[in-house]
Amino acid sequence: EPEVTQTPSHQVTQMGQEVILRCVPISNHLYFYWYRQILGQKVEFLVSFYNNEISEKSEIFDDQFSVERPDGSNFTLKIRSTKLEDSAMYFCASSRQGLYEQYFGPGTRLTVT
């Protein structure tokens, strides 16, 4: 069964450093998303991406964040200058269409020290 994959599973970085989180969505899906979950809190939407552009973003997704689909399979989230409060699980998700069910990857645990 097709699934969303994410790398790395765990990333430790120092405050101020740039990180890139990678995702491979399900192959025939057209919509891609990033969510995050701070420890003990609920899953929060960051950004949705369709047709090579951002379709929606939350207040969390400020200028420090960017997304890219560099090729036909990968979808990346970049945080330019990490802060302590960026420490969280980051989940990639994809869906076949915009209002269809979303399938999540296993997540990347980002720890900013």
Partner 1 sequence: TQLLEQSPQFLSIQEGENLTVYCNSSSVFSSLQWYRQEPGEGPVLLVTVVTGGEVKKLKRLTFQFGDARKDSSLHITAAQPGDTGLYLCAGLRSNDYKLSFGAGTTVTVRA
Site for partner 1 in 89-108 (CB under 8 A): 89, 91, 93, 95, 98-99, 101-107
Q: Which is nearer to partner 1, 9 or 27 (CB)?
A: 9
Burial of 24 (0-12, 13-18, 19+ CB in 10 A): middle
Site string for partner 1, 19-48 (x = CB under 8 A): ------------x-x-x-----xxxxx--x
Region at 46 (left for phi over 0; alpha for psi -120 to 50; beta for the rest): alpha
Distance CA 59, CA 104 (A): 21
- Cα dihedral sign for 31, 57, 78, 108? negative
CB of 87 to partner 1, least distance (A): 14
Q: Which is nearer to partner 1, 15 or 38 (CB)?
A: 38
Site for partner 1 in 55-84 (CB under 8 A): 55-56, 58
DSSP-derived pairing of the beta strands 53-57 and 108-112: unpaired
- DSSP single-letter state for residue 16: T
Contacting positions for partner 1 (CB under 8 A): 4, 6, 31, 33, 35, 41-45, 48, 50, 55-56, 58, 89, 91, 93, 95, 98-99, 101-107, 109
